[in-house]
A and B are shown apart, each in its own frame.
Chain A
Amino acid sequence: MSIEKYNIFIVNYYRMYDKVKQMTDTKKKIYLDHAATTPVRSEILDVMMEHFINNFGNPSSIYSRGVEAKRNLENYRKDIASSINALPEEIFFVSGGTEADNWAIKGSAKANIKKGRHLITSAIEHHAVLNSFKSLEKEGWEVTYLGVDNYGLVDPDDVRKAIRDDTVLVSVMMANNEIGTIQPVAEIASVCKTAKVIFHTDAVQALGALHIDVKESGADMMSFSGHKIYAPKGIGFLYVRKGVKIASILDGGGQEKKKRPGTENLPYIAALAKAVVIAQNECCEMSDRLTSMRNDLFNKVLSRIPHSRINGSREKRLPGNANFSFEFIEGESLLLLLDSMGYECSSGSACTSGSLDPSHVLLAIGLPHEIAHGSLRVTFGKDSDPDDIDGLVDVLEVIVKRLRDMSPLYEDFLNGKLSEPHCMLTGDSSYCKSNEGCIRV
């Protein structure tokens, strides 16, 4: 590029940057979807940059730049291992949570096929897990999908009963991405250990919110992702306890102890290591802060918006996760109006899931379709401001009312035409605080 062209480029770049900045400054956006993804922290970005330009070597190369890269790689592996109480050789870098889940499930199933072809999972897993099992089903494996209670909890006793002589693997997530339910993973792991069955847990949502100790969790394999903890998208790792047999699902070079081929993504691995260490150090302090914000939101929403309910458990729940259903309205409309007011959230409605059915998680905890369609997920992160909650609830109250005013379902409800009030479900004080004709079963 000539210097003239370069100057024009720079001028245009800064003009564009100013324009974007003006746009974002004038309309403040409040990001409340940290379970979807998080921004990269500046200190994490700094450690990445080094590996893009100077220390860019391939860890497999034998000259000094390669050797240096290899040494960095193994140091990052050690950093992660020691922060989660694992051994460095138990950490395998992958492209993210989806690959970690796919590999753990398909790789261990295939490596242990001699034992049998039966697998167990829960009905509320992430699609990376559920669809890995569906794929194995097509190849002739038999899968038991365990149901959950109204809070989204898997009963370890159900796991014990489902295990057979030919069961190879049990996979139950550590914490749910939609309703935040924290599973009794250590108990499930103990059931599996007694029965000599491999236990995998998807800990993508748990990392950063709960302190992770692989020995305490008792899991044989755990999946982790970087972009939920302020590292970039496209990086994650799988913990595989020493001695657990797992087959490679990719063919290629000899990286990652010949288990996972592909040149190691050193910049992102550097970021991941930094992010994991920070997440583990900060999670306890952050957890307290987010729990109090979340409870504040719970109380304000339930007291101010009638015909609303909390989905999931109040106690066994990720600190930053809130999930509501608002009756008589639909989630996507709610999200679009919230966005127009500057609040970025998510929903389990069919319209946002890309299918005709609402979230499989909300259906699994027993919500009728129409209530599941009206769900809202709010997930707080490290920069969330408790002072934003009042504003959010003010806006929610107005938006929910506006959508109800144009909802024929609400009209029917007011006219007494809805034979069965929708807010039935289980008896819990967190459900349906309205005083107008709701029945608690």
Chain B
Amino acid sequence: MYSDKVMEHFMNPRNVGEIPDATCTGTVGNAKCGDIMKIYLKIEDEVITDAKFKTFGCGSAIATSSMATEMIKGKTINEALDLSNKAVADALDGLPPNKMHCSLLAEQAVKAALKEYYERNGLINESNRHIFADTDDHDHENEDF
């Protein structure tokens, strides 16, 4: 069902845990749907110096959390905002169709954390507001892959 890479990240997830002095955090999903992702970021000079996660969810939810945090570490906040669910899924050599939802959750968790940072630092403007628009709710019906 899962690629070897998904299984490898699920069995040995990178960046599990909390960052006690995190610059910002983002939580998406809900328990009713069976998946919640919380991402912690440490940001210095607009560069993500550390990223950690905690996830309640299936194998692919944990694997996408692991991969997404790996992909944004060392990136600038602007680069991290470009992280797409497809890029996360591709980096894991693909996900089964009914699990693409998990990669979207990972993308949204990163954006939710960055939103907190952007808001606090007054960085939200007309050109980036739309990027943060869909991090607030968790609605399966709007998912389109």
Chain A residues whose C-beta falls within 8 Å of the C-beta of B27 in the assembled complex: 408
A-B Cβ contacts below 8 A, count: 72
CB distance from B106 to the nearest CB of A (A): 14
In the docked arrangement, what's the CA distance between A349 and B57, Å?
10
CB distance from A374 to the nearest CB of B (A): 9
- Is the C-beta of A340 less than 8 angstroms from some C-beta in chain B? yes
- Is the C-beta of A163 less than 8 angstroms from some C-beta in chain B? no
- Is the C-beta of B133 less than 8 angstroms from some C-beta in chain A? no
Stretch at the interface among B8-16, B71-79, B120-128: B8-16
Contact A369–B34 (Cβ < 8 Å) = yes
Chain A residues whose C-beta falls within 8 Å of the C-beta of B11 in the assembled complex: 337, 340
Contact B36–A358 (Cβ < 8 Å) = no
Stretch at the interface among A114-122, A131-139, A148-156, A327-335: A327-335
Q: Report the contact-size class of chain B (Cβ under 8 Å from the partner).
A: 20 to 34
CB distance from A373 to the nearest CB of B (A): 4
Known interface pairs A330-B58, A408-B55; A370-B31 also in contact (CB < 8 Å): yes
A residues contacting the other copy or chain, number (CB 8 A): 26
Contact A333–B62 (Cβ < 8 Å) = yes
Which residues of A in the span 332-379 have a Cβ within 8 Å of any Cβ on B?
Answer: 332-333, 336-337, 340, 349-351, 354, 356, 358, 368-370, 373
Chain B residues whose C-beta falls within 8 Å of the C-beta of A278 in the assembled complex: none
Q: A369-B34, A407-B54, A408-B38 are in contact. List 4 more A-B contacts (CB 8 A).
A: A333-B61, A336-B10, A406-B17, A407-B36
Of the A-B pairs whose beta carbons lie under 8 Å apart in the complex, a sample of 30, sorted by A's number, is A328-B56, A330-B34, A330-B56, A332-B59, A333-B57, A333-B61, A336-B10, A349-B34, A351-B58, A351-B59, A354-B98, A358-B34, A368-B32, A369-B33, A369-B34, A370-B31, A370-B32, A370-B34, A373-B31, A406-B13, A406-B17, A406-B53, A406-B54, A406-B62, A407-B36, A407-B56, A408-B36, A408-B56, A409-B31, A411-B18
